[in-house]
Amino acid sequence: MITRRNFNRLAAVAASSIAMPSVLAGRAFGQDTPIRFGASISLTGALSGTKNGQIGYELWRDDVNASGGLLGRQVELVLLDDQSSASNIPAIYSALADVEKCDVLFGPYGASLTAPVMPFIKQRDLFMIGMFPLAANEKARHDKFFHSAAWGPNSGTDWARGFFDLAKSVGVKRVAILANDLEFSKNAAVGGAKVAEEYSMEIVFNQSYPPNTSDFSSILRNISAANPDAVFVGSYPADSTAIIHGIREIGLPDSVQIFGGAMIGPQYGSLLSSLGPELNGVVNSHLFAPEPTMQTPEIKKFFDRYVPIAEKQGVDPLGYYVPPFYYVAGQLAAAAITGAGSLDQAAMAAWLHGNTVETIVGPAAFNDIGDWTKRRVLMVQIQNVKGNDLAQFREPGHQVILDPPELKSGEFIHPYNKARAS
């Protein structure tokens, strides 16, 4: 039985939802003094593991405001949750630009969420710092788009080139490629196959698997049957864990010199501590490792402040992969604004194209489509891990940088089975 009270409550919900746009519009046209930076972040959904990037943004905002702001104005962040869904992106970025009246935009995380925003910023001719999309601007070629991550030029192909450089250095001739049926890992696998062919390596196994695969025993047996010298894997955290568990049970042949490449998961504290010594020997991509060749006072200061916040919020307590580059995005935008002396989007882009910016992860310079001029994707080998204590991963010697050569911090242990036993 519906009472009048229940009916009235339902009517109130309907009325308030109809009235809300006018409330929003009223807020939209207010002129705030601070410079507003807008971004969508994936607080929920499949990409919510990247939400610790928000800490990077907030630390940058606090630092800028503590030092007097930009152009004499304080900095304000407007962050909206995209729910990891590309379909939400057009409306979110329109809301940031048209309702929230943001002065500068940061992109959403990753290629699949960035693709929908590229036509929007091109049509509006807006400045944007992209967050981790591979090869996002190669089609749009928008001259006001810049990457915060150091993917380097031709990232679609060259992103994992370091893995194949290492493989080549130890005489690898036969490569197996295994990839999740999802955007990032498929991209990595296609790029990896191209580089392998360029290096005259024979691809003896090339297979993708459905995203929810949890048992890799038959796939690993097939890989072993192909007798490869290298196994290049593009995977996401759940399947990375399942693959590592599968190797513990089934193993890989002694011919395998190098294993890993594009596995998402071993960059994060939760997976590093849960898998512990099982990860020994894996050579995998990363963007930062606490090795002497990468440590600077600035990055140390960043992590000294990041860790307590991350622990309080229950997000990745290491934060090596995503958060520093969200801070870098702020630094790049701030440098462009300060350099241009205004919020003029064309002047900001022109300044960033013509100058190198000193960031907490090192100097950043850009080519004509906003890629870092120099690829700085790390290939790290996990070594000497004992037990599951997370603290060991904050020390050097456990995520040893093998590539690029100028950041090399240790020796490559191979073949893989020998490295696993280390």
Q: What is the smallest separation between the CB atom of 421 and another protein, expressed in angstroms?
A: 35
Alpha helix stretches (DSSP H) within 140-262: 155-158, 161-169, 183-198, 217-226, 237-250
Which one among 208, 270, 295, 392 touches another protein, defined by CB under 8 A?
208
Per CB under 8 A, does 313 bind another protein?
Answer: no
Per CB under 8 A, does 32 bind another protein?
Answer: no
Which one among 39, 59, 64, 92 touches another protein, defined by CB under 8 A?
92
- Locate tokens 């995005």: which residue? 329
Q: What is the DSSP letter of 394?
A: G
Window contacting another protein (CB under 8 A); options: 15-23, 218-226, 292-300, 320-328: 15-23
Per CB under 8 A, does 2 bind another protein?
Answer: yes
Amino acid residing at 274? S
Question: Could you give the C-alpha distances from 113 to 170, 390, 412, in angstroms and in order?
Answer: 37, 31, 35
Q: For residues 98 and 28, is the Cβ–Cβ distance under 8 A?
A: yes
Per CB under 8 A, does 21 bind another protein?
Answer: yes
Window contacting another protein (CB under 8 A); options: 14-22, 141-149, 163-171, 411-419: 14-22
Per CB under 8 A, does 355 bind another protein?
Answer: no
- Locate tokens 């800490």: which residue? 55
Nearer to another protein, 186 or 286 (CB): 186
CA 85, CA 113: separation in Å to the nearest integer?
Answer: 7
Which one among 5, 8, 12, 18 touches another protein, defined by CB under 8 A?
18
Q: What is the DSSP letter of 379?
A: E
Q: 3-class DSSP state for residue 151?
A: coil
Window contacting another protein (CB under 8 A); options: 160-168, 205-213, 238-246, 276-284: 205-213
Nearer to another protein, 115 or 242 (CB): 115
Nearer to another protein, 181 or 254 (CB): 181
Per CB under 8 A, does 187 bind another protein?
Answer: yes
Q: For residues 278 and 248, is the Cβ–Cβ distance under 8 A?
A: yes
Window contacting another protein (CB under 8 A); options: 91-99, 160-168, 279-287, 413-421: 91-99
Per CB under 8 A, does 292 bind another protein?
Answer: no
Q: What is the DSSP letter of 73?
A: B
Which one among 35, 39, 59, 95 touches another protein, defined by CB under 8 A?
95
Q: What is the smallest separation between the CB atom of 362 and another protein, expressed in angstroms?
A: 30
- Locate tokens 């003896």: which residue? 204
- Locate tokens 């894996």: which residue? 282
Question: Could you give the C-alpha distances from 121 to 46, 142, 259, 268, in angstroms and in order?
Answer: 25, 8, 39, 32
Neighbours of 222 (CB within 10 A): 14
Which one among 35, 55, 75, 89 touches another protein, defined by CB under 8 A?
89
- Lookup: tokens for 347: 């002047």
Which one among 33, 44, 338, 342 touches another protein, defined by CB under 8 A?
44
Which one among 63, 69, 74, 83 touches another protein, defined by CB under 8 A?
83
Q: What is the smallest separation between the CB atom of 185 and another protein, expressed in angstroms?
A: 8
Per CB under 8 A, does 154 bind another protein?
Answer: no
Torsion of CA 387, 389, 393, 394, to 10 degrees: -150
Fill in the per-residue mask, 105 to 124: x = in contact with another protein (CB under 8 A), - = not in contact.
-------x--xx-xx---x-
| Residues written for the chain | 422
Q: E strands of 319-416, at which residues?
A: 357-359, 362-364, 378-382, 399-403
Nearer to another protein, 101 or 245 (CB): 101
Distance of CA 174 to the CA centre of its chain: 29
Window contacting another protein (CB under 8 A); options: 9-17, 62-70, 287-295, 348-356: 9-17
Q: 3-class DSSP state for residue 12?
A: helix
Distance of CA 11 to the CA centre of its chain: 44
Per CB under 8 A, does 194 bind another protein?
Answer: no
Sequence-ordered list of residues with C-beta below 8 angstroms from that of 390, at least 6 positions apart, any chain: 269, 272, 273, 317, 318
CA 42, CA 106: separation in Å to the nearest integer?
Answer: 13
CA 226, CA 275: separation in Å to the nearest integer?
Answer: 27
Window contacting another protein (CB under 8 A); options: 3-11, 141-149, 219-227, 332-340: 3-11
Per CB under 8 A, does 225 bind another protein?
Answer: no
Residues lying near another protein in the complex (CB under 8 A): 2, 6-7, 10, 13-14, 17-18, 20-21, 24-25, 28, 43-44, 46, 80-81, 83, 85-92, 94-95, 98-100, 112, 115-116, 118-119, 123, 139-140, 180-183, 185-187, 190, 208, 210-211
